[in-house]
Amino acid sequence: MTDFLVKYRAPLLLALIYVLAVAIYWHGAGPGDAEQYYRTALAWANDGPQLGKDHWGLRQLFVLPMAAAFTLLGQNEFAATVPNILYGAALVALTWHFGRRFMGQSSAFALTAFVALSAFFVARPIEVDVYGPEIVFSAMSCWLFVGSQLERHWRPWLAAAGIAAGLAFTIREQAAAVGIGFGFLILSSRRQIIERGAILAAGFLSVIAAEMVAYWIASGDPLYRYLTDLNHTKVSSGKAATVEQIGLWGVFIRAFKDFLTFPNSVPFAAIAAAGAFYFRRDISKWPHALKRTLIVFAVSGAVTAAISSYAFNLSMPRYYPLLTYFIFIVLGALCAEIYARFGRLAGWAFALLVIAGNIAAADFSRYNEYAEARLLANLAMKSDETIYTDGATALRARYEMIFLGADRNSAASKIVSVPQPEEGVLYYRTWENRAKNTSGCVLLAERPRAPNWTHWLLRVTGFSSIVGGDIKRVTEPPVPVELIRIGGDENGPGCLTKPNPNSN
């Protein structure tokens, strides 16, 4: 037993770090498209195989594990997050496996620890976000492509890279940009260009062909997925920011603005850039395999960012996660360099800087919107009346009711969204619908959202007021939610004094 622990102490420690990170970061579902995936996964679990009626329902490598988790663990919020917890574990494992092979032990350990504790790769994806599975297959594809450039028997590596890229594509279409990045790298190598391109394409197309055959058997139309996706018009952050609306320059600069305001990526990009500048003369002396790794991920990350932002109109970093993964590779290599040149204390100081940045970023970007939906679901389970609220809160709360044991019809009838509530109804007022006319008897006022220590720190230091804009808005304490009898006497029996929405 002792020999086993000594031999595998590094991967066991990394596994422990990941488990601790999940325990710290897990807060249930979070902002995104969680309900869209719930719908299809629950249909699979309750009614059997489903074709999928929209692009969310077609992401089978994400939906099917969730359906399996619902079947095995029950229909609850934790079960919904289990697939992404496992995908996160897979990312940690493949990062360690390939990083140790191509970057060296020290760099790989630092990189894997940073990924395991990452706000970007762990805290946000386990809130039910599809880029968690996407980065697993995209990163695997890049690592395999690195192997095709460094290993003697390169053909199987390249074919496997194409297969992994194809699997990433089945999760989200813009992941096809990974293959375009590989194309640039193959052309620049000037070695066996046609053969390498053909092998890569064969691996990628084998996945696409298998998927088309599956849809042909299931629906009678091999193009079912693509015809369904043609109706998909959602863009980044739900905003259709087109050239006609914000101009060509606005579209161009938006990608940089979105990246530079994304807390789970930009602090680490700044640290990586500063470290790379400091060691700029030493990077050329790094091992060949490490430099090839950096080049492959840099090109892939840049190409996926450009295509996602400008071809798909999706400019937030979660739509091109390979770029952030590249940044973390740089951080891992820098940590090992600092450790080797300046000693253990300096190496640990750098590592703690990155780790602290991830913990702070995870807290800053956690808004706890689902806490309001959970409270509403519990109220609706006990209420004999229908409760009305805004659309986003209603959708979330209905699924929370299902997770509490209600059937779909009951959840739909007990929680209803309306543009404006009528006299006499019960209305659940949240931050989303604070501007609506909701005067009446306040029966309940609570603050279900857990406080964020980073938001508090920015407020008390005055930094949020100095910066203003979105930072000030995001860091303000959330207003209380209220259950209101619309049009009722505000001072009648059982009514609460309405709190000041701006109070702490």
Predicted confidence (pLDDT) per residue in 124-177, tens digit: 999 888 999 999 999 999 999 999 999 989 999 999 999 999 999 999 988 999
**Would the pLDDT of 503 be above 50?**
no
Specify which of 89-98, 427-436, 471-480 reaches the highest per-range mean pLDDT. 89-98
- Helices 321-342 & 266-278 angle (0-180, nearest 10): 40
Task: Say how far apart CA 66 and CA 72 lie, in whole Å.
Answer: 10
Report pLDDT for 15: 96
Nearest Cα neighbor of 95 from 59, 138, 148, 62 is 138
Query: With pLDDT > 90 as the criterion, what percentage of the chain qualifies?
Result: 65
- Mean pLDDT on 47-61: 88
Report pLDDT for 244: 55
Edge-first strand order for the sheet with 387-389 is 415-417, 387-389, 426-429, 481-486, 440-446
Report pLDDT for 240: 46
- Let me know: does 439 contact 490? Beta carbons within 8 Å: yes
Predicted confidence (pLDDT) per residue in 78-92, tens digit: 999 999 999 999 999
Report pLDDT for 243: 55
Task: Say how far apart CA 154 and CA 148 lie, in whole Å.
Answer: 4
- Let me know: does 441 contact 490? Beta carbons within 8 Å: yes
pTM metric for this prediction: 0.91
Predicted confidence (pLDDT) per residue in 366-386, tens digit: 888 889 999 999 999 999 999
- Let me know: does 362 contact 264? Beta carbons within 8 Å: yes
Alpha helices in 48-153 (DSSP H): 60-73, 77-102, 105-116, 131-150
**Would the pLDDT of 182 be above 90?**
yes
Predicted confidence (pLDDT) per residue in 10-21, tens digit: 999 999 999 999
Task: Say how far apart CA 103 and CA 332 lie, in whole Å.
Answer: 9
Mean pLDDT of all residues in the chain? 89
Confidence of residue 463 (pLDDT cuts 50, 70, 90): confident
Nearest Cα neighbor of 334 from 111, 161, 156 is 111
Report pLDDT for 55: 83
Strands 426-429 and 387-389, sheet pairing: parallel
**Would the pLDDT of 401 be above 60?**
yes
**Would the pLDDT of 408 be above 60?**
yes
358-379 burial by CB neighbour count: b if 16+ within 10 A, else e?
bbbbbbbbbebbbbbbbbbbeb
Predicted confidence (pLDDT) per residue in 225-264, tens digit: 888 877 654 433 444 455 556 667 677 788 888 898 899 9
Provide the token pair at 441.
């008897």
